[in-house]
Amino acid sequence: MTVTDLIQKKRDRGTLSRQEIDYLVSGYVGGSIPDYQMSAFLMAVWFNGMDHDETAGLTTAMMNSGDVVDLSALPGIKVDKHSTGGVADTTTLVAAPVVAACGGTVAKMSGRGLGHTGGTLDKLESIPGLSVSWDMAGFTRIVRDCGLSVIGQTANLVPADKMLYALRDVTATVDNISLIASSIMSKKLASGSDAIVLDVKTGSGAFMKGFDQAMALASEMVSIGRHAGKNTMALVTDMSQPLGNAVGNALEVQEAIEILSGFHKGDLLTVSRALAARMLMVSGLAEEEDGAEQKVDEAISSGRALEKLKAMIEAQGGDPRVCDDVTLLPRAKKRLKIEAPADGYVHAMDTAEIGMAALLLGAGRRTKTDTIDPAVGIWMQKRLGDRVETGEILGEFHVNNEAALEESVERFLKAVHIQKGPATVPALIRGRV
């Protein structure tokens, strides 16, 4: 076989075998297939798609391009969760301690955030002293002792994904269901867990803005997981507004702690509760949704989930006192209250723009080398459907560097759409797979 033959086969809507896909991926990672040929192949896939078997084959080939983590030494069913990303999406810091408190084992490897606000690792690193850089011996020890740990991915985890994503990014081939699904699931499968729960976002702050597209991605990823022998479930959840009230790293940690302490309700808790319930179900710790949700509620109300988070923080070198006193988290020097410019109801939010407003304050990064300020961000004071009066507070900005403050405020105000008459609020959990 030749690369040209395979490009032509996919161009002409042919179906590739596992052997052919392995040849392409291994050749590209190994350097024998140049960028220009792989770009042509990716464009053929973008136009003609892949069937389920091809997508599973691509996922497996990418997974096997580097390290595959072995968690067999850890007890029980190891469960992982993944979100396709959004604004104020702090579900890992709520759901993972809950699952551990219910007897589950959560051994999670995460990546850095790029855009809006930081990723889970950046949020955790806002806790004084906490490290997310651990070797496998340290990682497994922490999971065995605490029931959970969240660390950075190993350097050689799925190198094919890093290479292919960089190429897709500059060849307009990012937004293809098969390519997105294989990118996400190759990393999940290589991370070594036995079961996976996926949270696919839809709405103005999501990569998959349309519901049908989000459902298609969720279905494809569940199919890949089950094809690989992993018990896999997915939710499609709404990202038409920031999921939590806090947008920014230390602020999001604070909100997660306050949820686990029983101080906050709302959308972040609702989605975290649903994800944790499914993590218990795929782990065999609950048979049905109602029973799983009861276990989740008891883990929070008893304080056991917060104790699990505290134990993980301490085991990873962080200051566990933040769970009792959130003022020990990084604090911005200045707080600015942003007032509503008109009377009415909050009809819509451009959630991605709210994320960009936080990024301009220093809460996110445009490039991988940018430094995040863990203290800054936005605390939302209004949600979709809320009634507002002129001068009421829409959000509170936590600010250190004022260089881009004016632009940040302007983008925030344009992102929150206030109109006359009551608003319709979309359902929070839109679909299940």
How are beta strands 416-419 and 387-388 bridged, if at all?
A: unpaired
Please choose, from the candidates 30, 32, 35, 5, the residue with its C-alpha nearest in 3D space to the C-alpha of residue 20: 5
Q: Judge whether 39 counts as a catalytic residue.
A: no
Q: Minimal CA–CA distance to 19: which of 47, 43, 54?
A: 54
Residues 277 and 76: their CA atoms lie apart, in Å, by: 17
List 81, 82, 123, 230, catalytic entry:
82
> What whole-number distance in Å separates Cα of residue 188 and Cα of residue 193?
8
CA dist., res. 97 & res. 101, Å (int)? 6
CA atoms within 13 A on the CB side of 293: 9
Q: Could you tell me the strand order of the sheet in which 195-202 lies?
A: 148-152, 105-110, 78-83, 195-202, 231-238, 429-432
Fill in the amino acid letter for 159: P
How far CA 415 is from CA of 10, 106, 351, 411, in Å, comes to 42, 36, 7, 6
Of 78, 187, 227, 278, the active-site residue reads: 187
Q: Closest Cα to residue 91, out of 350, 292, 316, 279?
A: 279
Annotated catalytic residue 227: no
Please indicate whether residue 267 is annotated as part of the active site.
no
Q: What's the DSSP call for residue 379?
A: E
- Residues β-bridged to residue 346: 418
Whether 151 and 109 have beta carbons less than 8 Å apart is answered as yes
Q: Which DSSP helix (H) or strand (E) runs through 295?
A: helix 289-301
Asked whether 423 and 347 are in contact (CB, 8 A), the reply is: yes
Catalytic residue among 65, 110, 182, 183: 183
Distance CA 363, CA 132 (A): 19
The answer to whether 187 is a known catalytic residue is yes
Catalytic-residue membership of 161: yes
Check 67, 89, 161, 373 and give the catalytic one.
Answer: 161
Which of 123, 162, 168, 230 is flagged as catalytic? 168
Instruction: Point out the residues that are catalytic.
Output: 82, 161, 168, 183, 187
